[in-house]
């Protein structure tokens, strides 16, 4: 399955690629597909539709620069509708939340800091390349919507070796089968059953964070977490959430279609 190959890239090792913000000159193509309407739409159309949702889940490939640029563009063009809402990042875990809260409050009260000083102030985990996420985090900290962690701490994840979702959607055997296939394809070490358990533990945690977050709530995470077929949307269904949820997948696919049930929108971006 093409989409299974794509979202499995989430599990590949993250690499740090040097990025100079001033060198960001290339234009993002507006190659955006609406699955429900089965038609290509403009960026402005996408923004208008995302603004109608209570939750927006954006799935990325972590090492693609074009994905981060697209996210920055989406967040900057939607900020007015999200004033009372929140943005949740997979790249932040619960132990960083207090520092993030303090820095965001300080900046909104007139505090000043450069982008290079921020990592130490918010205890940024350097397994996530700051060169990739720094601009987005800097901008979000200066905005009114709450910036929230979307991930449990490492200790909790390490202990979640036997986690099993109880809901009929997230706990379905076909979901675990797909996750296992993905793990087996791209993981050469570790117990893949355990990795699936930990993956589903994270999805369950993200869903609960979204449910309690100020709305509209936007989540940015790996595509495997946001996919409607295997990720967070299943847990939201099991929780009985009745608000409007929209899923956008960012892909560097070659242009052929991903399976329709993966997302509500697919944005095809250059590999960069």
Tokens of 98: 């207090």
CA gyration radius, the chain: 18
- Please report, in angstroms and rounded to a whole number, the separation of the first and last CA atoms in the chain: 24
DSSP-derived 3-state class of residue 246 = strand
What integer pLDDT is reported at residue 188 of this predicted model?
A: 60
Kind and range of the H or E run holding 120: helix 118-121
What integer pLDDT is reported at residue 189 of this predicted model?
A: 59
How far apart CA 36 and CA 89 sit, in angstroms, is 26
How far apart CA 174 and CA 196 sit, in angstroms, is 13
Compute the Cα dihedral for 166, 202, 155, 122 and give only its sign: negative
31-268: CATH, from 3.40.50.11550, 3.30.350.10, 3.30.360.10, 1.10.40.50:
3.40.50.11550
What integer pLDDT is reported at residue 12 of this predicted model?
A: 37
Domain boundaries, the chain: 31-268
DSSP-derived 3-state class of residue 103 = helix
Beta bridge partners of 217: 55, 86
Q: Edge to edge, what strands does the sheet with 265-268 contain?
A: 39-41, 32-34, 265-268, 245-251, 55-60, 217-222, 86-93, 146-151
In the DSSP assignment, the letter for residue 230 is T
What integer pLDDT is reported at residue 252 of this predicted model?
A: 83
Run means of pLDDT, 10 residues per run, the chain, 272 residues = 48 33 60 92 97 97 93 95 96 98 95 94 95 96 96 96 96 94 74 93 98 98 95 98 97 64 92 79
Beta bridge partners of 88: 148, 219
| Spatial CA neighbour of 36 closest among 260, 269, 270 | 260
How far apart CA 59 and CA 67 sit, in angstroms, is 9
């Amino acid at each position: 399955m093409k989409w299974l190959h794509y979202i499995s890239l989430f599990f590949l090792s993250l690499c740090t690629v040097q990025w100079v913000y001033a060198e960001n000159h290339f234009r993002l193509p507006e190659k955006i597909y609406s699955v429900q309407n089965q038609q290509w739409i403009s960026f402005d159309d996408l923004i208008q539709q995302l603004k109608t949702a209570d939750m927006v889940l954006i799935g990325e490939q972590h090492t693609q620069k074009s994905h981060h640029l697209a996210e920055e563009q989406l967040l900057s063009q939607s900020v007015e509708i999200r004033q009372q809402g929140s943005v949740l990042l997979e790249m932040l875990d619960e132990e960083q939340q207090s520092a993030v809260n303090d820095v965001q409050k300080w900046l909104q009260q007139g505090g000043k800091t450069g982008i290079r000083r921020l990592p130490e102030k918010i205890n940024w985990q350097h397994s996530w390349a700051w060169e990739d996420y720094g601009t987005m985090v800097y901008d979000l900290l200066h905005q009114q919507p709450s910036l929230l962690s979307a991930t449990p701490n490492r200790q909790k994840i390490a202990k979640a070796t036997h986690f099993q979702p109880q809901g009929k959607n997230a706990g379905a055997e076909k979901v675990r089968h797909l996750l296992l296939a993905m793990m087996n394809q791209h993981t050469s070490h570790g117990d893949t059953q355990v990795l699936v358990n930990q993956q589903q533990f994270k999805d369950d945690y993200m869903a609960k964070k979204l449910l309690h977050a100020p709305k509209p709530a936007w989540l940015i995470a790996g595509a495997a977490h946001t996919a409607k077929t295997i990720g967070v949307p299943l847990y939201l269904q099991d929780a009985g959430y009745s608000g409007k949820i929209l899923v956008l997948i960012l892909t560097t696919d070659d242009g052929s279609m991903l399976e329709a049930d993966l997302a509500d929108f697919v944005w095809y971006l250059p590999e960069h």
